[in-house]
Structure 1
């Protein structure tokens, strides 16, 4: 077990864009992910194995940095929900695209999470990130200190703050924009997932029909039966090709635009959480100002100190949040653009390969005629 991680400034010893989740190992209900990263020194690579609980350990350390000025203004890279070894309808609903295609989409999502944490100017300084990526020992299972998200679990009465009008037009517009985008991206991801599920069902049906056509083959010397059997065999090959085509199309959809929409949806939720944290701080600041105005002379000085501390904290959070939003808006456009380009390229390649194969089938049928 590695030692308790102390929250201290750290410079990563790996290239953030070199971090890869290369493999997943199954042991009963436990999944272990193999993570490889290139050393900055250029002398080799780090190879570590981590479970999902280790990823949660890292996330909790990132959340626990209350001593970092403005940390509540950070849009934390979203960690995917815990994977299920045997995907059920419930886990597919929870994980969406990440529950499809064996473990490849999920490994890609974890890889993206680590790359974004390692590339973040604030989060990458947490010692836990370096430990997670480079230590051969597994992270400790100790509980980390209370973090900024604990309050959200107690926030039944604070939910009213979500509709609290902002004093800054920039943040009010961003909150309104995020509310719309969160719903739209979630719906788009769900609809696209329905498309992929339908493609997978069509592929399975074509496979069944291809097998069934072989049952129509009849032995014997009768010319008509022989001709009918040849047609059945050829049709079986055609439907097998259709099955392979639909399978490839579905895989392309998952690994390109599907993962892009999934990440976009989870990041919109992460931004919403950040905006809500800032709104809660705004309400606290307004309450501190009112309490200062109403305070009796004997408590005036103390309340002034509380108000100044709240103002300083709120300014730090707002400053970090503006930088995060600007960075996020640029990154999300590039991310979706890459997903769309990759999606088009993959589907064009699949379509070309399928067209060539179907042309071959067509020539055979013409020869039979």
Structure 2
């Protein structure tokens, strides 16, 4: 491996810019500036203490962390750098060797200049064996990434592989923030936002409805839409309670107010509320999924992305057709869209809350530091989206995992329990995924039937208006009653479709993702088994060659310990999954049957009343009334 240094020079007529020197301030100084900024303003505080106003703004965001550092130790107030600051060690082993060499030279009172230090670094680097190293951002199967770059050699991952991306991410976020400000200014100048007045009006109405319905126990509470009941396995005295107390829709984003109550000593407060977006939920899921300490657990599936595209598309069409509608038709369609939007809104809130409750009720996940940061940190977590390279990396990783699963599929498991579970879950996942698609199709057909009722009612209403003005007025009133009946049937059919979606389709979809997470657990265990068997073979080869036996024994013992730990945890998790799945299906399907019976009775009563009313109101050819002869007793 060769080290090539490139010191780009400059020509004589180029201006050499002196690099800007950054001053470092103590925690005590920063808090003093913040105190003055609160009393007056950021600008006045920056001028008084001789610092840039941007730094004061950054310190305002870091105030909680600064107080924690100051209280951590007597010397905390004299610290100048926050955790994670300073130069990242790109080659940690070489830095350690170079530091030891430097201390040795100085102990001998030998001269060490920057040039000598640089030459020694190049010499040490080139002395390393030529070895292929692959580095990349690790990405989970759902296409999202974690906060680390991982490096891999031919014989496995490098222990010191992960490096935080804080510096680069901060620069990217600053650039993105500037670009976003420019875009907003251009939008305001060009008047792009004026076209969304109807959309903003609807969303504000929905938010008002959310505000009034979230705490109204008499309404159809969104918590009844949970796929499964949450049962905490933590200590009751120090239990962690998490719920989403409020949610707000802002254009294409939904902001969730996560409310937490706890007596756990790890938290600074016993009650707190933070605002989180969907991307931050995905970040939390990725942190759990990429944590090797949780390899033996089924990671709760991440909540799906809020999908309001269908509602917004209908809203756009409604806005375009406003000129051709009467005021009553427009208000009626607008009310229907608001109800549809609200139903989707409540469902996505419930799915996000289930994810958090699963973590809070778990004895291990609830103690994760990233989960505490998610619940406790007041500011945004600054989770950015993926670029094109990361998206391609996610596809590559998925292909790699699929190929690895194919290679491991032929490996016979030493435990009959896991061999049976693997075959069972593979077949079960295929069937439940297909059932989810079929159930989703049924829900779409239900909505289509409801729409057909609405269209028929609309056309009959127009016919009735024509009859009332220039035809048979009695027949016009008759058609008006038929229209009213069809509108009620449409609401009943929509209600049936909503119940089927919440109780059946969502349950199937949830456990499709849960089964996929269980399959990932079995894959991680099978990978540990393969590593354990490879370590056994390496130990046999080392003993045959009588070389590096101790190293091979250590690796074999570690692989054995890891495999046994993940096997014990996986067995418990799979048994628990089966129990939870059976209970959830029993609960939701029983409730669905009860709702179907209730809606069928309502529809039957509606049709009986409608037929009786229509036969009474329809005149016969002799001018009399047609008697009611319908018998529904059978």
Relative to the length of structure 1, the TM-score reads 0.83
**From 385, 401, 407, the counterpart of 1:155:** 401
Q: Which has the higher contact order (CA 8 A, sep 6+)?
A: 1
Q: Give the counterpart of 1:333 among 579, 582, 586.
A: 582
Q: Distance in 2 between matches of 1:11 and 1:133?
A: 19
- The alpha-carbon deviation at position 165 of structure 1 amounts to 1.8
2:256 to 29, 33, 41: 33
Q: Secondary structure at the match of 1:56?
A: helix
What is the match of residue 234 of structure 1?
481
Task: Output one character per residue of 1:225-264: Cα deviation in whole Å (capped at 9) or x when no partner.
Answer: 2232222111111111110011101111122222211111
Q: Are residues 194 and 39 of structure 1, via their aligned partners in 2, closer, same or farther at CA, if it must alter by over 3 Å?
A: same
For residues 12 and 60 of structure 1, what CA distance do their matches in structure 2 show? 28
Question: Residues 152, 219 of structure 1: CA spacing in aligned structure 2 closer, same or farther, 3 A cutoff?
Answer: closer
Residue 169 and residue 248 in structure 1: after superposition, are their counterparts in 2 closer, same or farther (change >3 A)? same
Q: Which structure is larger by alpha-carbon Rg, 1 or 2?
A: 2
The structure-2 alpha-carbon separation of the partners of 1:110 and 1:286, relative to structure 1 and needing over 3 Å to count, comes to same
Q: Corresponding residue for 1:269?
A: 516
1:279 aligned partner:
526
TM-superposed deviation, 1:281: 1.0
1:317-366 per-position Cα deviation (integer Å, ceiling 9, x unaligned) = 00110111111111111111121122123323323333333222122023
Counterparts in 2 of 1:150 and 1:127: CA distance versus 1, 3 Å = farther
Unaligned runs of 5+ residues in structure 2 are: 1-60, 66-82, 85-233, 312-340, 386-393, 618-625, 627-634
* Long gaps (5+) in structure 1: 89-98, 144-148
The answer as to whether partners of 1:73 and 1:321 remain within 8 angstroms in 2 is yes
Partner Cα separation in structure 1 for residue 255 and residue 236 of structure 2? 23
State the distance in 2 between where 1:307 and 1:191 align. 48
**Does the CA-based 8 Å contact 1:105-1:254 persist in structure 2?**
no
Match for 2:291 among 58, 61, 65? Answer: 65
Change (3 A) 1:210 1:73: same
- Secondary structure, in 3 states, of the residue corresponding to 1:336? helix
The equivalent position to 1:349 in structure 2, one of 594, 598, 601, is: 598
Question: Which residue is equivalent to 1:20?
Answer: 243
What residue number does 1:104 align with? 346
Matched residues in 2 for 1:133 and 1:275: separation? 30
- Name the residue aligned to 2:378: 136
> How many pairs does the alignment contain?
343
Partner in structure 2 of residue 259 of structure 1: 506
What is the RMSD of the two structures over their aligned residues, measured on CA atoms? Answer: 3.1
Compute the displacement of 1:100 (Å). Answer: 10
1:199 and 1:62, CA in 2 relative to 1: closer, same or farther beyond 3 A?
Answer: same
Counterpart-to-counterpart distance in 2, 1:82 and 1:342 = 26
If the length of structure 2 is used for normalisation, what is the TM-score?
Answer: 0.50
CA distance in 1, matches of 2:353, 2:342: 16
Q: Does 1:209 align with 2:456?
A: yes
- Would you say the 8 A contact 1:24–1:107 is kept in 2? yes
Q: Equivalent residue for 1:79?
A: 302
Pair 15,245 (structure 1): closer, same or farther in 2 beyond 3 Å: farther
